[in-house]
Amino acid sequence: MSQSRTALVTGASSGIGAAFARVLADDGLDLVLVARRQEKLDELAQELRDRRGVRVEVVAADLSDPAAPRAVVEAVQELGLEVDVLVNNAGLSGDAAFTETPWSALAAEIQVMVTAVTELAHLLAPGMKQRGHGRIVNVSSLAAFAPPGESLLYTGIKSYVLDMSQALDMELKPRGVHVTALCPGFTRSEFHATMGSAEAANRLPALLWQEADAVAREGWAAVETGKPVCVAGRVNKVLSHAMRPVPFRLQYLMGRSLNPLKH
């Protein structure tokens, strides 16, 4: 087994995922990069090997395939690696009305951003717990604090990621494993172009936008210091508090201490 720390990053071919890979490589971590686009992953992997001399492996996988999360973990095991850091970043969002969207597209959205996120954490967290150290960053969104969006599953999905991450952090933190829900706002990446919302997004004020690198650095600092929720960017922090009257820290403490089903 490798003696250095290894991070697995999903959605690593661009945007926040690629930014996380660079931040982690700069911190000396070996990497397993996961995304659909083999060519983009190979380019980034070579860049990181040349830049920091870290080990970088590529696993091309489509996380909308229900078999993909386990296949990814098995591929990592075959490489002789143990995952110390998981960054669940892969995501997508529909741009059409719910009733006009084929079920296959909705199912893919749920699989990538709910099931795969949860399954990868479930597969990898036990090893972290056993070793007494681990970091999990689940990329949620500022949308998790917003009112539901018409026709969209996105706000509900990101709310799930926010809540699940905090619940997992409550369980694992005593064993040295930190879990953080990273909640970025509008971030410059390929996301909006891919989802067909680039024109509308570009009309937003510049102060609402962040660079992917800044989001990744803030998220990595947050999980290292044990923050269960990280809203990236000052403007987004203000907006999130305005949308939710109960502060995150109080919600977290209430959830940990007032849960009647807690073992």
Residues known to be catalytic: 154
For 53, the token pair is 């001399």
* CA pair distance 207, 45, nearest whole angstrom: 32
Contacts of 87 (CB under 8 A, 6+ apart): 7, 8, 9, 10, 17, 20, 24, 136, 137, 139
Residue for token digits 């990273």?
182
| Strands 85-88 and 56-60, bridge-based pairing | unpaired
- Give the single-character DSSP code of 96: S
Strand partners, 58: 33
CA 7 from centroid of its chain's CA atoms:
12
